[in-house]
Amino acid sequence: MALSSAALAGDGPNQLGNFRASTYGGVFIPQSESWKGSGTLNGLPFNATGKLSSNPGWATGGLVGYTFEDVPGWEWLNIDLVARYIASTFNQFTGTVAIAGVGNFMGPAPLSGQYPTVAGFVNFLATPFGIWQFFDDKMTPFVGIGPGVAGSTAKIQTFSLAPANLPINANYIETDFAFDAVVGADYEIAPQWDLGISYQYRWINVKHLGGGAGIQANTGPASGHSIGLLLEYRFSRAS
Protein backbone atom coordinates (compact mmCIF):
# COMPACT_ATOMS: atom_id res chain seq x y z
CA MET A 1 0.00 0.00 0.00
CA ALA A 2 2.93 2.33 0.77
CA LEU A 3 4.40 1.61 -2.67
CA SER A 4 1.04 2.38 -4.29
CA SER A 5 0.82 5.67 -2.42
CA ALA A 6 4.32 6.56 -3.56
CA ALA A 7 3.37 5.82 -7.15
CA LEU A 8 0.37 8.09 -6.81
CA ALA A 9 2.55 10.88 -5.53
CA GLY A 10 4.94 10.51 -8.44
CA ASP A 11 2.60 9.94 -11.35
CA GLY A 12 -0.55 11.87 -10.51
CA PRO A 13 -3.34 11.59 -7.96
CA ASN A 14 -5.75 9.57 -10.11
CA GLN A 15 -3.44 6.87 -11.47
CA LEU A 16 -5.19 4.21 -9.38
CA GLY A 17 -8.27 6.39 -9.04
CA ASN A 18 -11.18 3.99 -8.71
CA PHE A 19 -9.42 1.11 -6.94
CA ARG A 20 -9.62 0.26 -3.27
CA ALA A 21 -8.15 -2.41 -0.99
CA SER A 22 -9.29 -3.73 2.37
CA THR A 23 -8.59 -6.29 5.08
CA TYR A 24 -11.23 -8.18 7.06
CA GLY A 25 -11.51 -10.07 10.36
CA GLY A 26 -14.52 -11.52 12.15
CA VAL A 27 -16.37 -14.52 13.55
CA PHE A 28 -17.81 -17.44 11.60
CA ILE A 29 -21.00 -19.32 12.51
CA PRO A 30 -21.45 -22.57 10.55
CA GLN A 31 -24.66 -24.41 9.75
CA SER A 32 -24.94 -28.19 9.97
CA GLU A 33 -24.70 -30.24 6.76
CA SER A 34 -26.15 -33.61 5.82
CA TRP A 35 -23.74 -36.57 5.83
CA LYS A 36 -23.94 -40.19 4.72
CA GLY A 37 -20.98 -42.47 5.16
CA SER A 38 -19.89 -46.09 4.98
CA GLY A 39 -16.67 -48.01 5.45
CA THR A 40 -14.88 -49.36 8.48
CA LEU A 41 -14.46 -48.16 12.06
CA ASN A 42 -11.76 -50.05 13.97
CA GLY A 43 -12.01 -52.78 11.33
CA LEU A 44 -15.81 -53.14 11.62
CA PRO A 45 -18.11 -52.26 8.68
CA PHE A 46 -20.47 -49.36 9.38
CA ASN A 47 -23.13 -47.15 7.79
CA ALA A 48 -24.15 -43.73 9.07
CA THR A 49 -26.80 -41.18 8.11
CA GLY A 50 -27.31 -37.81 9.75
CA LYS A 51 -25.77 -34.36 10.05
CA LEU A 52 -22.34 -32.94 10.80
CA SER A 53 -22.13 -29.82 12.92
CA SER A 54 -19.16 -27.58 13.60
CA ASN A 55 -18.18 -25.10 16.28
CA PRO A 56 -18.11 -21.34 15.66
CA GLY A 57 -14.76 -20.16 14.39
CA TRP A 58 -13.14 -17.12 12.82
CA ALA A 59 -12.69 -15.64 9.36
CA THR A 60 -10.10 -13.35 7.86
CA GLY A 61 -9.25 -12.09 4.40
CA GLY A 62 -8.99 -9.16 2.06
CA LEU A 63 -10.20 -7.72 -1.20
CA VAL A 64 -9.21 -5.55 -4.12
CA GLY A 65 -12.09 -3.66 -5.69
CA TYR A 66 -12.94 -1.27 -8.47
CA THR A 67 -15.76 1.27 -8.40
CA PHE A 68 -17.45 2.82 -11.43
CA GLU A 69 -18.03 6.12 -9.64
CA ASP A 70 -16.80 8.10 -12.66
CA VAL A 71 -19.14 6.37 -15.13
CA PRO A 72 -22.50 8.17 -15.43
CA GLY A 73 -25.37 5.84 -14.56
CA TRP A 74 -23.06 3.21 -13.03
CA GLU A 75 -21.85 5.10 -9.95
CA TRP A 76 -23.52 2.50 -7.72
CA LEU A 77 -21.54 -0.51 -9.06
CA ASN A 78 -18.36 -2.05 -7.61
CA ILE A 79 -16.54 -5.24 -8.61
CA ASP A 80 -14.46 -6.96 -5.92
CA LEU A 81 -12.00 -9.84 -5.87
CA VAL A 82 -12.42 -11.34 -2.41
CA ALA A 83 -10.26 -13.90 -0.59
CA ARG A 84 -11.34 -15.50 2.70
CA TYR A 85 -9.87 -18.01 5.13
CA ILE A 86 -12.37 -19.62 7.51
CA ALA A 87 -11.24 -21.74 10.47
CA SER A 88 -13.60 -24.02 12.36
CA THR A 89 -13.56 -27.34 14.24
CA PHE A 90 -15.96 -30.27 14.21
CA ASN A 91 -18.47 -30.58 17.03
CA GLN A 92 -20.62 -33.69 16.62
CA PHE A 93 -22.45 -36.10 14.33
CA THR A 94 -26.20 -36.36 14.90
CA GLY A 95 -28.01 -39.32 13.36
CA THR A 96 -27.86 -43.12 13.15
CA VAL A 97 -24.74 -45.26 13.11
CA ALA A 98 -25.02 -48.99 12.35
CA ILE A 99 -21.92 -51.10 13.09
CA ALA A 100 -21.88 -54.71 11.89
CA GLY A 101 -21.87 -57.16 14.78
CA VAL A 102 -22.31 -54.40 17.36
CA GLY A 103 -25.66 -52.72 16.71
CA ASN A 104 -27.34 -49.40 15.93
CA PHE A 105 -26.61 -46.18 17.78
CA MET A 106 -28.73 -43.03 17.84
CA GLY A 107 -28.20 -39.48 18.97
CA PRO A 108 -25.27 -37.05 18.97
CA ALA A 109 -21.75 -38.44 18.86
CA PRO A 110 -18.86 -36.03 19.54
CA LEU A 111 -16.25 -35.47 16.83
CA SER A 112 -12.80 -33.92 17.06
CA GLY A 113 -10.96 -32.42 14.12
CA GLN A 114 -10.31 -29.28 12.07
CA TYR A 115 -12.46 -27.88 9.27
CA PRO A 116 -10.63 -25.00 7.51
CA THR A 117 -11.76 -23.46 4.22
CA VAL A 118 -10.06 -21.15 1.72
CA ALA A 119 -12.48 -19.34 -0.60
CA GLY A 120 -12.34 -16.75 -3.35
CA PHE A 121 -15.25 -14.76 -4.81
CA VAL A 122 -15.95 -12.25 -7.56
CA ASN A 123 -18.51 -9.99 -5.93
CA PHE A 124 -20.74 -7.50 -7.69
CA LEU A 125 -21.31 -4.87 -5.04
CA ALA A 126 -23.96 -2.16 -5.21
CA THR A 127 -24.51 1.04 -3.24
CA PRO A 128 -28.16 1.69 -4.16
CA PHE A 129 -28.82 3.80 -1.07
CA GLY A 130 -26.17 6.37 -1.90
CA ILE A 131 -23.84 8.08 0.56
CA TRP A 132 -25.30 9.17 3.91
CA GLN A 133 -24.06 12.01 6.07
CA PHE A 134 -23.43 10.40 9.46
CA PHE A 135 -22.24 12.76 12.20
CA ASP A 136 -19.34 14.69 10.63
CA ASP A 137 -18.38 12.07 8.06
CA LYS A 138 -19.93 9.88 5.38
CA MET A 139 -21.38 6.35 5.56
CA THR A 140 -22.00 4.15 2.51
CA PRO A 141 -24.32 1.12 2.87
CA PHE A 142 -23.71 -1.72 0.40
CA VAL A 143 -25.13 -5.07 -0.73
CA GLY A 144 -23.60 -7.65 -3.04
CA ILE A 145 -23.47 -11.18 -4.37
CA GLY A 146 -21.08 -13.24 -6.41
CA PRO A 147 -19.77 -16.65 -7.54
CA GLY A 148 -16.60 -18.23 -6.29
CA VAL A 149 -14.59 -21.35 -5.59
CA ALA A 150 -13.71 -22.88 -2.23
CA GLY A 151 -11.22 -25.48 -1.06
CA SER A 152 -12.37 -27.24 2.13
CA THR A 153 -10.37 -29.62 4.30
CA ALA A 154 -11.89 -32.09 6.77
CA LYS A 155 -9.41 -33.51 9.29
CA ILE A 156 -11.45 -35.85 11.49
CA GLN A 157 -9.32 -37.22 14.32
CA THR A 158 -11.65 -39.11 16.66
CA PHE A 159 -15.28 -40.21 16.83
CA SER A 160 -16.89 -40.90 20.21
CA LEU A 161 -19.60 -43.55 20.37
CA ALA A 162 -21.07 -44.42 23.78
CA PRO A 163 -18.04 -44.92 26.06
CA ALA A 164 -15.65 -45.64 23.18
CA ASN A 165 -13.40 -42.97 21.64
CA LEU A 166 -12.56 -44.29 18.18
CA PRO A 167 -9.52 -42.98 16.26
CA ILE A 168 -10.25 -42.12 12.63
CA ASN A 169 -7.45 -39.79 11.43
CA ALA A 170 -9.17 -39.12 8.08
CA ASN A 171 -8.06 -36.21 5.88
CA TYR A 172 -10.02 -35.11 2.84
CA ILE A 173 -9.63 -32.02 0.63
CA GLU A 174 -12.26 -30.92 -1.85
CA THR A 175 -12.60 -27.93 -4.22
CA ASP A 176 -16.13 -26.85 -5.14
CA PHE A 177 -18.28 -24.09 -6.60
CA ALA A 178 -19.37 -21.47 -4.06
CA PHE A 179 -21.29 -18.24 -3.86
CA ASP A 180 -21.77 -15.55 -1.25
CA ALA A 181 -24.04 -12.64 -0.40
CA VAL A 182 -22.86 -9.63 1.57
CA VAL A 183 -24.39 -6.60 3.25
CA GLY A 184 -22.76 -3.89 5.30
CA ALA A 185 -21.64 -0.29 5.50
CA ASP A 186 -18.43 1.74 5.25
CA TYR A 187 -17.77 4.77 7.46
CA GLU A 188 -15.17 7.35 6.49
CA ILE A 189 -12.64 7.81 9.32
CA ALA A 190 -9.96 9.69 7.36
CA PRO A 191 -9.60 11.17 3.84
CA GLN A 192 -8.46 7.84 2.34
CA TRP A 193 -9.64 5.38 5.01
CA ASP A 194 -12.97 3.72 5.81
CA LEU A 195 -13.90 1.49 8.72
CA GLY A 196 -16.79 -0.85 7.97
CA ILE A 197 -18.89 -3.71 9.16
CA SER A 198 -19.79 -6.59 6.86
CA TYR A 199 -22.02 -9.66 7.01
CA GLN A 200 -21.40 -12.55 4.60
CA TYR A 201 -23.54 -15.60 3.86
CA ARG A 202 -21.41 -18.33 2.27
CA TRP A 203 -22.61 -21.47 0.42
CA ILE A 204 -20.30 -24.22 -0.86
CA ASN A 205 -21.42 -27.18 -2.97
CA VAL A 206 -19.42 -29.83 -1.09
CA LYS A 207 -20.07 -33.45 -2.06
CA HIS A 208 -17.75 -35.90 -0.29
CA LEU A 209 -16.20 -34.06 2.62
CA GLY A 210 -15.39 -36.28 5.60
CA GLY A 211 -14.18 -39.28 3.63
CA GLY A 212 -10.78 -40.92 3.59
CA ALA A 213 -9.08 -43.62 5.71
CA GLY A 214 -11.48 -46.32 4.52
CA ILE A 215 -14.58 -44.09 4.71
CA GLN A 216 -16.74 -43.14 1.72
CA ALA A 217 -18.78 -40.00 2.33
CA ASN A 218 -21.60 -38.12 0.61
CA THR A 219 -22.43 -34.69 1.98
CA GLY A 220 -24.88 -31.91 1.36
CA PRO A 221 -23.87 -28.28 0.73
CA ALA A 222 -22.00 -26.42 3.47
CA SER A 223 -23.13 -22.96 4.49
CA GLY A 224 -22.42 -20.43 7.19
CA HIS A 225 -22.43 -16.83 8.30
CA SER A 226 -19.61 -14.46 9.13
CA ILE A 227 -19.70 -10.96 10.53
CA GLY A 228 -16.75 -8.71 11.16
CA LEU A 229 -14.93 -5.44 10.65
CA LEU A 230 -13.08 -4.25 7.57
CA LEU A 231 -10.47 -1.54 7.12
CA GLU A 232 -10.44 -0.05 3.64
CA TYR A 233 -8.11 2.24 1.70
CA ARG A 234 -9.61 4.20 -1.22
CA PHE A 235 -7.13 5.39 -3.82
CA SER A 236 -9.66 7.77 -5.38
CA ARG A 237 -9.46 10.03 -2.32
CA ALA A 238 -5.66 10.28 -2.35
CA SER A 239 -4.41 13.80 -2.60
CATH code of the domain in which 158 resides: 2.40.160.20
Nearest to 24, CA basis, from 217, 223, 196, 238: 196
pTM: 0.85
Q: What are 96-115's pLDDT values in tens digits?
A: 999 888 888 887 889 999 99
When divided into structural domains, the chain yields a total of 1
Residue 37 placed within a domain: yes
Cα torsion 144, 150, 155, 161 to 10°: value is 60
pLDDT at 6 over 60: no
- pLDDT the model gives residue 7: 33
pLDDT in tens, 207-217: 998 887 788 88
The per-residue pLDDT for range 157-201, each reduced to its tens digit, is: 888 877 777 788 888 999 999 999 999 999 999 888 999 999 999
Is residue 128 one of the residues assigned to a domain? Answer: yes
Q: To the nearest whole number, what is the mean pLDDT of the chain?
A: 87
Share of the chain above pLDDT 90, in %: 57
Residue 154, domain member (yes or no) = yes
The answer to whether residue 2 is domain-embedded is no
* 34 within domain boundaries: yes
- Considering the domain boundaries, does residue 67 fall inside one? yes
57 within some domain: yes
In a 13 Å sphere around the CA of 192, the CA atoms on its Cβ side amount to: 21
Q: How far is the CA of 192 from the CAs of 52, 133, 135, 161, 197, in angstroms?
A: 44, 17, 18, 56, 17
For residue 29, being part of any structural domain is answered with yes
Rounded average pLDDT over 27-56: 91
Span 45-88, pLDDT tens digits: 989 999 999 999 999 999 999 999 888 888 889 999 999 999 99
Could you tell me the residue range of the domain that residue 161 belongs to?
17-237
